[in-house]
Structures are given as structure tokens and as C-alpha cells.
Amino acid sequence: MAPFSAPKQKRHRCRELRAKLSSENDPWFESAVNAASLRFQETSRAEPLLVDPFAGCFVDPDMHMVLKKHPHPYCVAAKFIDDKLLQNVHSIDGLKQVVLLTDGMCTRPYRLNWPSSTMIFDISPERVSNISSHKLRGVGAKTSRRCLHVHVPMESPDFEKALRARGFKANTHSIWALQGIPITTLASFEQILFTISCLATKGTLFLGELPAWLAETDIGSQPSAEKWINKLFMGNGFKVDTISYDEVANSLGKEIAPESHSNILFVAEQLRFSDDQMETWRREFQRVEEGADEEGFEEL
């Protein structure tokens, strides 16, 4: 898979709380710390939607913070993704594989209560991940016992190969979550979706947030976005549902903040078998056929 191109989308700033930014004007880094700022603000509420005890290590402690009345749509999505991930992995026996496509400052490997035998693969920008890993170690962040956290550079020319090299098993159940990873072209997301389709076993969940402009790029009109998403995902073997941010917030007893948040929240299920599953069954079928041929020869 070719490296992603540098993002050109409009940068968003949190006016009430600005995060520490790199001395270099790195838009991927800036996007990651702004997301961490939103999690830090939510954690600071009297009744937080989610608690991220590590987001503060990315935030300037001297910055003045003004909490808004309602949670940001990003935090509503983050809570939804958190709950879906944990619900899914706790229902799996044996090895659990979680693949996170992130901005490099995702704290899910450390702040969520993962069951034992969980392998967490974090696909994200390498430079951002290196900086955040250093900060997280500095505040004592650790994964749950008997769990393994592995980073896979987003810039890898072939992230399927990179995942396999780090222990991912494409004939074993996995769950995939996308929130924050830089996506700058429709082609780059199509490649991500195709790769996941090849690696995900039947029944695998893929959920997260997509930039709404992906649909607008291809169809030119927002009302047809849901049909476009259905067509794109189904073409790669996934049944997909788009999720309302307001409905998620209401289910959590919250109202969503009237913020500009041009993303699409989705949950998809793999309907096909992974490439490895197909290969396993092909070999088994071939073995059975060869055995039948040998028995027939002996009868003659």
C-alpha cells in the first residue's frame, strides 16, 4: 500500500483549550493533539462521557480551559467506538485481535480494560506515534496484563504485510476501528477498505468515523452519501450502517454540542471469508479430493 499523501483539509483548533503543538508545522501532529485536547476536556467534566487519564500529557497544563455544556461530537463517537470494541472483544474466546487506525495519539491501548490475550495493533503516523509513546511512558501508561500493543507505521508501503510481520493472523477473528488516521483521498480509503476486506474473517466488525467529504468527492451531493457508502462497503464484502451522532448521545443521556463535525459514524460487518480462510478451505478441499482419488485407484 502506498504511503498516504499529506493532508490538505482545513485544520481545526480548539479555542478554549489549545494543545501543545510541535515546533514544526505538522498538520498530522496538530490534528492529533487537538483530538487529545477534546478528550482531556471531556475527562474534566463533573459527569464525563469518557475518561482519558492520559490525554493530559499532550496538553499544556498552563492553558485556560472553559468547558462547554455538551460533549463534542468527536467524544460521542469515541465513546461509541470504545463501547463497541470492548463489547466485541469480551465475547471472543482465545486470541483477540484489535486493529486501531489512529492519529498516533490514541490512548485506547492504555485506558480501556482489555481482556487477557488481546493483541492491539495501532496503525498510525510513525512520527506522531514516536512522540506520543515517549509522553505516555513518562506518565506511566501501560496496557492491561497479558495484552500486547504493537505499532504499525501508516507509512508502510504494504500495511497488510507489516501487520502479518508483527503477528496478525488473518484466519483468526479481529475487530477494526478507524478514528483519526489521516485520510486525504478517496483512493487511499478504498485501499484501506480493500486491505481490511482481505484480512478480516467472516463476521468481523469494522467501525469508526469517516470524513464526510469522501462521499462528496465521489458523488458531489450529501443526500446520496448513505447510498454511496453502502455501495462502496458492499463492493468490498461489508454490510454497513451509518449511525446518528444525536441518537448515540441520546442513548447515553447526553445532548451533543452544536459543533461543526463533518464526519460519518459507521458500523460494518464482513460478509465474506478472509483470503486466509479461503486458502485454508481450498487446501482442505484439495486434500479431500486427493484422498478420494487414491481410494478410487485402490478399488480398481
DSSP for 211-249 reads ETHHHHHHHS-GGGHHHHHHHHHHTTTEEEEEE-HHHHH
Establish if 289 belongs to a structural domain.
no
Backbone angles phi, psi at 67, to 5 degrees: -80, 135
Residue 170 makes CB contacts below 8 A (sequence gap 6+) with: 164, 198, 199, 200, 201, 274, 275, 276, 277
At residue 258 the predicted structure's pLDDT band, cuts being 50, 70 and 90, is confident
Establish if 90 belongs to a structural domain.
yes
Q: Which of 42 and 4 is assigned the larger pLDDT?
A: 42
* pLDDT value, residue 217: 67
Establish if 10 belongs to a structural domain.
no
SS3 label, residue 153 = strand
Q: Given a cut of 60, is residue 36 above it in pLDDT?
A: yes
Average pLDDT score over the chain: 87
Establish if 39 belongs to a structural domain.
no
Exposure of 283 by Cβ count < 10 A (0-12 exposed, 13-18 middle, 19+ buried)? Answer: exposed
pLDDT tens for 225-241 read 888 899 999 999 999 99
Establish if 14 belongs to a structural domain.
no
The DSSP element (H or E) to which 98 belongs, if any, is strand 96-102
* pLDDT value, residue 24: 55
* pLDDT value, residue 59: 87
pLDDT tens for 263-290 read 999 999 999 999 898 888 788 888 887 7
Backbone angles phi, psi at 196, to 5 degrees: -60, -40
C-alpha to C-alpha distance for 251 and 48, rounded to whole angstroms: 15
Asked if residue 126 lies in contact with residue 157, where contact means CB atoms within 8 angstroms, the answer is no
C-alpha to C-alpha distance for 223 and 227, rounded to whole angstroms: 9
* pLDDT value, residue 257: 83
Q: Given a cut of 90, is residue 65 above it in pLDDT?
A: no
What CATH number is given to the structural domain containing 149? 3.40.50.150
pLDDT tens for 169-197 read 999 999 999 999 999 899 999 999 999 99
Backbone angles phi, psi at 177, to 5 degrees: -135, 135
C-alpha to C-alpha distance for 229 and 226, rounded to whole angstroms: 5
Residue 88 makes CB contacts below 8 A (sequence gap 6+) with: 175, 205
Asked if residue 220 lies in contact with residue 230, where contact means CB atoms within 8 angstroms, the answer is no
| Range(s) of the domain holding residue 265 | 74-279
Taking residues 123-135, report their average pLDDT.
96
Q: What single letter denotes the amino acid at residue 203?
A: G
- Quote the number of domains for the chain: 1
- Please state, as a whole number, how many other Cβ atoms lie within 10 Å of the Cβ of residue 194: 15
Q: Given a cut of 60, is residue 78 above it in pLDDT?
A: yes
Establish if 12 belongs to a structural domain.
no
Residue 100 makes CB contacts below 8 A (sequence gap 6+) with: 106, 108, 109, 120, 121, 122, 123, 124, 176, 177, 179
Establish if 46 belongs to a structural domain.
no
Establish if 6 belongs to a structural domain.
no
Q: Give the bridge partners for 174, in sequence order.
A: 97
C-alpha to C-alpha distance for 105 and 95, rounded to whole angstroms: 25
